[in-house]
Structure 1
Amino acid sequence: MRLRRQPGAAAVNISFHGAAQGVTGSCHLVECAGARILIDCGLYQGGHSLEEENAEPFGFEPADIDALLLTHAHLDHCGRIPLLSRRGFQGEIITTPASRELARLVMLDAANLQEEEAARNRRQAARHGRKRGAREEPRYTVLDALNCLDRFGRCAGYGERLQVVPGIQATFLDAGHILGSASILLELEEGGERRRVLFSGDVGNRGRPLLRDPEVVTGLDAVVMETTYGDREHKSLQPTIDEFYAAINATFERGGNVIIPTFAMERAQELLYFLRQEVERGILSQATQVFLDSPMAISATEIFRRHPEAYGDGTRALFQSGQDPFQLPGLHFTRETAESMALNRIGGGAVIMAGSGMCTGGRVRHHLKHHLWRRDSSIVFVGFAARGTLARRIVDGAGSVRIFGEEIPVHASIHTINGFSAHAGRQELLDWYRRTAGAPVTYLVHGDPDAMAAFAGELADREVRMPALHDRFAL
């Protein structure tokens, strides 16, 4: 049911229904001109308590939402769209062409994993004589994910100003985070008053080889800004690449395999780009065997190849010259389950990239089960690990971890290489903010409380708010 405007109430409001004093579950609601516009609708990811949030009410009625603007296709930004549709949303979803393709892939994959997990839980419940509960049913099904695709309407080109509904216009700006990612400028008008609000989405790093640098605009009344790395920096790119190759070569010298828990979009493709580059330069052997063991990452790589218009100049030039920046001599795509299982018979000398990046599901958990106990192998983490995830427990130095009901000792070499992050570090976030020239009020989202507080301290001359879940403000 729509919130009814009270006499004297502000005409334009914003509320926060995800990624509020937390890193995942991005979901923000703008009310203006009698319409309700949602920015993102993502899954919570992390420990069991966070996962339970995904089944809770949204904090608004899905049927009342007129449109959803999607910043990008990561699961924590798009992963609850099928549930939103299942619960009554019938509005239009607007995003960039690349994000439209990637979101379809991500949501279908998430639905499939949920169905598999629910079926596994039902089997366990039956064996132990338990009644079915929430864990034995998926949050949404593959059919729900397919049905929500009907809601995707217009595609937004970067820099193109489009009318979402009368009184609300949106401009998608390149965020440089993953393929198709965007910051979104909303221009809001009601009762003769106008507001310009910029939603950062996830901000990428400048100077990366695949994508363009993040764009900004000025003249803003409010900024809604991510702070995932608001309290820390990433290692510079070249030392990061050098550390990555050193870990691989050291593992091969010991006779082991390298397991890389890999995010299917951007991270997988960036690693393929760098592996190809270093094989060409002779840093890695031409005989290096690389297995991309993720059907989702394989499909994402094919989508990446279809959107050279979204890349930086160097990568776009490679495509135009007929070269494939993601292809190297020893690359193997393993789509089938049997092919994935066969990888565990490889004694050494292989790089195995498998999802998921935080080890919350997917094939990487099987590879961890077969390699964590091996002293000659290495596990290389190249992305963010949220609190409560298996990846975070390993990174934090757990002596053993439980995988598929079995306690596995951690004897492999553990490498955490954070310079590959698709997120801007603290200084790049500050630079992005300063290039907007700031705003009268800034809302910090999408970060741990400590990271947000640290970043807020850098904006001491501004009004900064750190909204809690479901907080609502007048703009």
Structure 2
Amino acid sequence: MPVDIQFHGAAQTVTGSCTELVVGGTRLLVDCGLFQGPRSLEHLNHAPFGFDVHAIDAVLLTHAHIDHSGLLPRLAAEGYRGPIWMTGPTRDLIAYLLADAARIQVSDARHHNLRRDRADGRRHEPLYTPIDAERAVDLARTAELGRWFEPCAHVRARFWDAGHILGAVSIEIEAGGVSLFFSGDLGGKVASLEAAPTGPAGIDHLICESTYGDRTRAAIDLVERRHALKIEIDEAMQAGGNLVIPVFAVERTQELLLDMATLFDSGELEPRAVFIDSPLATRITSVFADSAIDGTNDGKVFAHSAFHFTETSAESIRLNALSGAIILAGSGMCEGGRVRHHLIHNLARPDSTILFVGYQARGTLGRLISEGTDRVRISGHDVAVRAQIRSIDTYSAHADRDDLLAWIEARRPIRGSLFLNHGEADAVASLARACSGKGDIRCPSIGERFRLSAGAPAKRTKTGDPMLHAAIERDWQNDYADFSLRLKGELEAIANPAERRHAIAEMRGVLRSHQRLAGQASHQRHKRRA
């Protein structure tokens, strides 16, 4: 029976995970995630799905993160009524995560439509609503680790612990006489809340993430990680300002809280107020507390007296008047959430510190700040970056290059092809070079399709879409924001007012020239179609 695989997301990029398997007349998806980051990438969330929603028989979900689960409500809104298979903890998490994502979709659409500078533009509709999120959660079906089950006809699957976040799995699939193993997102060396990733050996085709395929982190243990956090907190508090930590609601928040509680209780750090300014992180923390994870004192550690969970917007705004506070706020890449107003109030303060503890995707505000930009634009505010910018990469939920290579090696023999996905182009290419000489390696792009056979390399049957690939490159709006932030200062540096006006006229002339060329190209395309 023929087996085909097509990559609809997370190919040469780290978000939008969605892979389709076609086995005879049966179709299933592994993940259905939201594209996140620059606007050109986020626009793909509104594009038509690359598959017929009504033809999908089942969905297998590796874990709850929005870049893997965030388009499930849209799938339900467009008529999908089949099962969505996952672990029990993942089901508990998506109930909160998808509801929050839907709330953001509605809120962002409302905000967009109320902006005066966009009053003459196209009305913006939310990608999906809270009702659609509820429909998706209602489709959840759970399976245990290590037990085979049949998600749909001609397919059987088995979950393996991925060590990434609570409930995260890698997925083994047998279909049409072919065996496949999807890594999902893999955990790293130092994790206080999760076990190490596991998996079978001897696979026809392995699909492995590559997020940190070009980076190796220092080999430290949990004690050393906590010491590194202690140093960052000490230095930030000595500076006198606030310590703002952009956090992901799932796992990173809880690991930080566990480490801080341990440091406070051991006397290594003087206890001080820690504000968790993310209603979603608060709800997710309750799931972790109820899960009785080893080392958390049956979840009681998350109720430490130093921790203060802010719920309302008014409580969040009051934090802007503080100094010497530790503030954990979402989102982790600074693309939304309450962290943005904390950045507005703290980035320009030389005595404040911004500490990054997670991956910052290309084109995100977090990436721009972490790479050293001196000015940013946040929600219409032009903000100078004078705060101390720091990072600790050992809190990442992802395996690094060495971890990935060891995990791939443990899966051998790989009888067919190794597919490297879920990574930016440089990371994918670096990991591919490290694996060269050890079999057939594929680095798929969005839209690319392959025919799979047992014991043989994959055969490409459809190339990727160049327009989709272009969307994952640096977004023009990042360049525009940087240009516009610096434009006034650069014009003022021209001493002669007449020369300034001439420079402005030249810029306008360049824009008009490009507009004419674009119009001519569009006209030629229409003529060819006619």
* TM-score, with length taken from structure 2: 0.82
Distance 1:163 1:248, change over 3 A: same
Q: Which residue of structure 2 lines up, in the alignment, with residue 277 of structure 1? A: 262
Matched, 1:54 2:45: yes
- 2-structure distance, mates of 1:228, 1:41: 18
User: Aligned residues: percent identity?
Assistant: 42
- 2-structure distance, mates of 1:81, 1:450: 29
Matched, 1:168 2:155: yes
Q: Is the Cα–Cα contact under 8 Å of residues 223 and 438 in structure 1 kept in the other structure?
A: no
Shift of 1:210: 1.1
Q: Is the Cα–Cα contact under 8 Å of residues 108 and 142 in structure 1 kept in the other structure?
A: yes
Structure with more helix by fraction: 2
Q: Which residue of structure 2 lines up, in the alignment, with residue 469 of structure 1? A: 446
After superposition, the C-alpha distances for 1:83-134 in whole angstroms (9 at most, x for unaligned) are 1111221211010001011112111111111111111111114x6541334x
Q: Work out which of the residue numbers 153, 166, 170 in structure 2 matches 1:183.
A: 170
For the aligned residue pairs, the C-alpha RMSD in angstroms reads 1.4
Matched, 1:224 2:204: no
Distance 1:254 1:207, change over 3 A: closer
Q: Work out which of the residue numbers 272, 277, 300 in structure 2 matches 1:324.
A: 300
Q: Which residue of structure 2 lines up, in the alignment, with residue 241 of structure 1? A: 226
Shift of 1:33: 4.2
The one-letter code matched in structure 2 to 1:167 is H
Distance 1:207 1:122, change over 3 A: closer
Q: Which residue of structure 1 lines up, in the alignment, with residue 136 of structure 2? A: 148
The one-letter code matched in structure 2 to 1:333 is F
- 1-structure distance, mates of 2:118, 2:395: 44
Q: Which residue of structure 2 lines up, in the alignment, with residue 6 of structure 1? A: none
Q: Work out which of the residue numbers 68, 75, 80 in structure 1 matches 2:59.
A: 68
Aligned residues: 448
- 1-structure distance, mates of 2:289, 2:198: 23
The one-letter code matched in structure 2 to 1:163 is E
Distance 1:128 1:77, change over 3 A: closer
- 2-structure distance, mates of 1:172, 1:27: 17
Shift of 1:200: 0.2
Q: Which residue of structure 2 lines up, in the alignment, with residue 205 of structure 1? A: 188
Q: How does 1:319-358 map to 2 (within 5 A)?
A: 319=298, 324-346=300-322, 348-358=323-333
- Bigger Cα Rg: 2
Q: Is the Cα–Cα contact under 8 Å of residues 64 and 94 in structure 2 kept in the other structure?
A: yes
Q: Is the Cα–Cα contact under 8 Å of residues 214 and 426 in structure 2 kept in the other structure?
A: yes
Q: Which residue of structure 2 lines up, in the alignment, with residue 130 of structure 1? A: 120
- 1-structure distance, mates of 2:147, 2:316: 43
Distance 1:65 1:248, change over 3 A: same
Matched, 1:159 2:146: yes
After superposition, the C-alpha distances for 1:154-211 in whole angstroms (9 at most, x for unaligned) are 211111111112321110111000000000000113xxxx111000000002452211
Shift of 1:219: 2.0
Secondary structure (helix, strand or coil) at the match of 1:277 reads helix
- 1-structure distance, mates of 2:77, 2:148: 30
Shift of 1:255: 1.5
- 1-structure distance, mates of 2:95, 2:439: 39
Distance 1:398 1:437, change over 3 A: same
Secondary structure (helix, strand or coil) at the match of 1:221 reads strand
Q: Is the Cα–Cα contact under 8 Å of residues 89 and 166 in structure 2 kept in the other structure?
A: yes
- 1-structure distance, mates of 2:256, 2:217: 17
Q: Work out which of the residue numbers 288, 294, 297 in structure 2 matches 1:304.
A: 288
Q: Which residue of structure 1 lines up, in the alignment, with residue 198 of structure 2? A: 215
The one-letter code matched in structure 2 to 1:44 is F
Shift of 1:419: 1.0
> Tell me, which stretches of 5 or more residues in structure 2 are unaligned?
453-530
Distance 1:145 1:77, change over 3 A: same
Q: Is the Cα–Cα contact under 8 Å of residues 62 and 87 in structure 1 kept in the other structure?
A: yes
> Tell me, which stretches of 5 or more residues in structure 1 are unaligned?
1-9
Shift of 1:257: 0.9
The one-letter code matched in structure 1 to 2:402 is Q
After superposition, the C-alpha distances for 1:137-165 in whole angstroms (9 at most, x for unaligned) are 2111122212222222x211111111112
Q: Which residue of structure 2 lines up, in the alignment, with residue 85 of structure 1? A: 76
More contact order relative to length (CA 8 Å, sep ≥ 6): 1
The one-letter code matched in structure 1 to 2:405 is L
Shift of 1:325: 3.1
Q: Work out which of the residue numbers 411, 422, 427 in structure 2 matches 1:436.
A: 411
- 2-structure distance, mates of 1:84, 1:462: 36
